[in-house]
Amino acid sequence: MTESLPAHAQVVVIGGGIIGCSTAYHLARDHKADVVLLEQGQLTSGSTWHAAGLVGQLRSSASITRVLKYSVDLYKRLHEETGLETGWKMTGCLRLATNEDRWAEYRRLATTARSFGMEMHLISPEEVKRLWPLMDTSDLVGASWLPTDGQASPSDITASLAKGARMNGARLFEGVRVTGFVMEGTRITAVETDQGPIACETVVNCAGQWARQLGALAGVSVPLQPVKHQYIVTEAIEGLQSDTPTVRDPDRRIYFKEEVGGLVMGGYEPNPQAWDTGLPGGDVPERWEFQLFDDDFDHFEQHMTQAVERVPALNTAGMKQMINGPESFTPDGNFILGRAHECDNMYVGAGFNAFGIAAGGGAGWALAEWIMRGEAPLDLWVVDIRRFAGLHRDRAWVRARTLEAYGKHYAIGFPFEEYESGRPYIVSPLYDRLKAHNAVFGSKLGWERPNWFAPPGVEPVDRPSMGRQNWFEAVGEEHAHVREKVGLFDQSSFAKFELKGSDALAALDFICANDVTRPVGRLTYTQMLTSRGGIECDLTVGRLAEDHFYIVTGTGFRTHDFAWIRDHIPNGADASLSDVTEAWGTLSLMGPRARDVLAAVTDADVSNAAFPFGHLRELTIAGVSVRALRVTYVGELGWELHVPLEGTAAVFDALMAAGAASDLRPVGYRALESLRLEKGYRAWGSDITPNDNPFEAGLGWAVKLRSGRPFLGRDACEQAVQKPLRRKLMGFTTEDPEVVLLGRETILRDGEPVGYLTSGGFGHTIGCPVGYGYVNNPSGVDETFVKEGRYELVVANEAVAARVHDGPLYDPKLERVKT
Sign of CA dihedral 45, 51, 55, 58: negative
Are residues 354 and 245 part of one domain? no
Average pLDDT over residues 134-147: 97
Number of CB atoms found within 10 A of residue 301's CB: 10
In sequence order, what E strands does 438-501 have? 439-444, 447-453, 487-490, 495-500
pLDDT cut 90: percent of the chain above it: 97
C-alpha count within 13 angstroms, C-beta hemisphere, residue 442: 17
When mean pLDDT is compared across 1-10, 284-293, 810-819, the lowest value belongs to 810-819
Are residues 816 and 740 part of one domain? yes
pLDDT reading at 816 higher than 70: no
Average pLDDT over residues 105-116: 94
Are 363 and 19 in contact, with CB atoms under 8 Å apart?
A: yes
Would you call 491 exposed, middle or buried from its count of C-beta atoms within 10 A (0-12, 13-18, 19+)? buried
Average pLDDT over residues 546-558: 98
pLDDT of amino acid 5: 95
In a domain, 475, yes or no: no
Angle between helices 472-484 and 669-679 (to 10 degrees): 60
Would you place residue 526 in the very low, low, confident or very high pLDDT band (cuts 50, 70, 90)?
A: very high
Average pLDDT over residues 85-110: 96
| Residue 758 main-chain phi, psi, to 5 deg | -90, -25
Are 529 and 694 in contact, with CB atoms under 8 Å apart?
A: yes
Average pLDDT over residues 380-409: 97
In a domain, 704, yes or no: no
Sign of CA dihedral 740, 741, 746, 748: positive
DSSP characters for 614-655?
TBEEEEEETTEEEEEE---SSSSSEEEEEEEGGGHHHHHHHH
pLDDT of amino acid 232: 97
pLDDT reading at 814 higher than 60: no
Average pLDDT over residues 108-130: 95
Report the CATH number at residue 736. 2.40.30.110
Can you give the residue range of the structural domain that contains 102?
A: 93-149+227-276+290-324
Would you place residue 362 in the very low, low, confident or very high pLDDT band (cuts 50, 70, 90)?
A: very high
Are residues 270 and 342 part of one domain? no
By C-alpha distance, which of 577, 585, 580, 582 is closest to 548? 577
pLDDT of amino acid 815: 44
pLDDT digits (tens, 9 = 90+) for 698-708: 999 999 999 99
Report the C-alpha gap between 201 and 302 in whole angstroms: 49
Report the C-alpha gap between 133 and 35 in whole angstroms: 49
Report the C-alpha gap between 578 and 59 in whole angstroms: 36
Are residues 172 and 60 part of one domain? yes
Are 233 and 225 in contact, with CB atoms under 8 Å apart?
A: no
pLDDT reading at 530 higher than 50: yes
Average pLDDT over residues 479-508: 98
In a domain, 668, yes or no: no
pLDDT reading at 110 higher than 70: yes
pLDDT of amino acid 2: 63
In a domain, 492, yes or no: no
pLDDT reading at 819 higher than 50: no
Q: How many domains does the chain have?
A: 3
Strands 8-14 and 198-205: parallel
Are residues 158 and 64 part of one domain? yes
Would you place residue 204 in the very low, low, confident or very high pLDDT band (cuts 50, 70, 90)?
A: very high
Report the C-alpha gap between 381 and 362 in whole angstroms: 15
pLDDT reading at 817 higher than 50: no
pLDDT digits (tens, 9 = 90+) for 215-259: 999 999 999 999 999 999 999 999 999 999 999 999 999 999 999
Arithmetic mean of pLDDT over the chain: 96
pLDDT of amino acid 237: 96
Are residues 369 and 256 part of one domain? no
Average pLDDT over residues 650-671: 98
pLDDT of amino acid 3: 81
Strand partners, 769: 762
Average pLDDT over residues 733-745: 96
By C-alpha distance, which of 464, 468, 469, 437 is closest to 453? 437
Q: How far is CA 70 from the centre of its chain?
A: 19
Report the C-alpha gap between 633 and 265 in whole angstroms: 49
Report the C-alpha gap between 623 and 479 in whole angstroms: 31
Report the CATH number at residue 374. 3.50.50.60
Report the C-alpha gap between 397 and 614 in whole angstroms: 40
In a domain, 688, yes or no: no
End-to-end CA distance of the chain: 76
In a domain, 694, yes or no: no
pLDDT reading at 27 higher than 60: yes
| Residue 137 main-chain phi, psi, to 5 deg | -110, 15
In a domain, 761, yes or no: yes
Domain stops at, among 387, 418, 433: 387
The one-letter amino acid code at 70 reads: Y
pLDDT of amino acid 281: 85
Are residues 185 and 73 part of one domain? yes
Are 96 and 132 in contact, with CB atoms under 8 Å apart?
A: no
Would you place residue 818 in the very low, low, confident or very high pLDDT band (cuts 50, 70, 90)?
A: very low
pLDDT of amino acid 457: 94
Q: How far is CA 568 from the centre of its chain?
A: 23
By C-alpha distance, which of 345, 393, 363, 335 is closest to 567? 345
Are residues 236 and 217 part of one domain? no
Report the C-alpha gap between 727 and 729 in whole angstroms: 7
Are residues 66 and 215 part of one domain? yes
In a domain, 362, yes or no: yes
Angle between helices 62-82 and 356-373 (to 10 degrees): 90
Report the CATH number at residue 130. 3.30.9.10
The one-letter amino acid code at 444 reads: K
Are residues 145 and 156 part of one domain? no
Are residues 295 and 211 part of one domain? no
What Å distances lie between residue 84 and 98, 161, 297, 738, CA to CA? 40, 9, 36, 54
Are residues 207 and 184 part of one domain? yes
pLDDT of amino acid 813: 66
By C-alpha distance, which of 92, 51, 411 is closest to 264? 51
